[in-house]
Amino acid sequence: MQPPLAYNHQTLAVPSQAPTDGVVRALAAQLSPVLGDTTGNRARSLDALAAAAEHGAGLVVLPELCTSGYAFAGAAEARAAAEPVDGPSVRAWHDAARAHGFVIVAGLCELDADGALRNSAVVVDPTGVRAVYRKTHLWDREPDIFVPGDLAPPVVDTAAGRIGLAVCFDAAFPEHIRRAALAGAEIVAVPMNSPAPPRPTEPIPIEIAIAMAAANASRVYVVQADRTGEERGVRWAQASVIVDPDGSVVAGPEDGEALLVADLDPARARDKSWGDRNDVFGDRRPELYSMPSTTPQEPTPR
């Protein structure tokens, strides 16, 4: 068995041959940000982007809060590491996207225009910032720090395909991924910081099982970039993975800092058929899915 290809400390899951026509090379970067080290974390993200360029990536997904770290003691610590969307990290990502011609989806500890803290994901391509999504489903202590978003996930038409967004816990809600798919997403990018549970699920982490189920249920690609390492005693699930529209894992998972690479064909995600007689969207019965406005009454016994 040949050893895996490597770029410094980052292992590569596949060789670096150029993708064929119509195919997009996607890369999920599993990194280890340092809490509060915004300058160092920015440099780490740029190293990953440089590696992605070396391997012909058209889409690069970086982890949730990759500029700041995650396990904040409170809002004041998060605020010290926050940046506006027009701040140095996003500007640096734009420069990288413009230099290398790819699309970046990355997690940002955002200070919004009203001074609120947001757990955000940005879509950046050579033309600039294409979308900013604020995480809508906040996990555990996150509501003590961040203001949740209140908009549906955007779907952005890019050179790498139509990209929908979810941030970590968002992906646990089937409605979220389905909403992006119904809006035309071919690829759902998921920046993630998922703490490892005390009793991991077997045979695979639940975050990977969820990604597989979501991809299969809506016939979309899922490109999920988790983190690694330990932060204030929190260990991470290392659930970075790339899943195809059949629900098959095509890259990952890996231990430690790693780059997961896979070639995606967006046309596959536009085909919603399940065999010759079924269609994941055409067979839906939305009229049956809404909850009634009042609680149904029990039938009167005879």
Catalytic hit among 110, 142, 168, 207 = 168
Catalytic hit among 64, 110, 231, 254 = 64
Q: How far is CA 21 from CA 18, 141, 263, 267, in A?
A: 9, 45, 11, 12
Compute how many other C-beta atoms are within 10 angstroms of the C-beta atom of residue 125.
23
The H-assigned helical ranges of 66-205 are 75-81, 88-100, 174-182
- Tell me whether residue 257 is one of the annotated catalytic residues: no
Q: Which residues 6+ apart lie within 8 Å of 212 measured at CB?
A: 222, 243, 247, 248, 249
DSSP-derived letter for residue 302 is -
| The token pair that represents 294 in the structure block | 């009042």
- Identify the sign of the CA torsion 172, 174, 176, 181: positive
Beta strands in the chain, from DSSP E residues, in sequence order: 5-7, 10-12, 24-30, 59-61, 103-111, 117-125, 128-134, 155-158, 161-165, 187-191, 221-225, 230-231, 234-235, 241-243, 249-251, 258-264, 273-274, 278-279
- Tell me whether residue 168 is one of the annotated catalytic residues: yes
Residue 182 burial by Cβ neighbours in a 10 Å radius (0-12, 13-18, 19+): middle
- Tell me whether residue 272 is one of the annotated catalytic residues: no
Q: Which residues 6+ apart lie within 8 Å of 81 measured at CB?
A: 35, 36, 38, 67, 68, 69, 72, 109
Catalytic hit among 135, 142, 186, 207 = 135
| The token pair that represents 35 in the structure block | 């809490």
Active-site residue list: 64, 135, 168
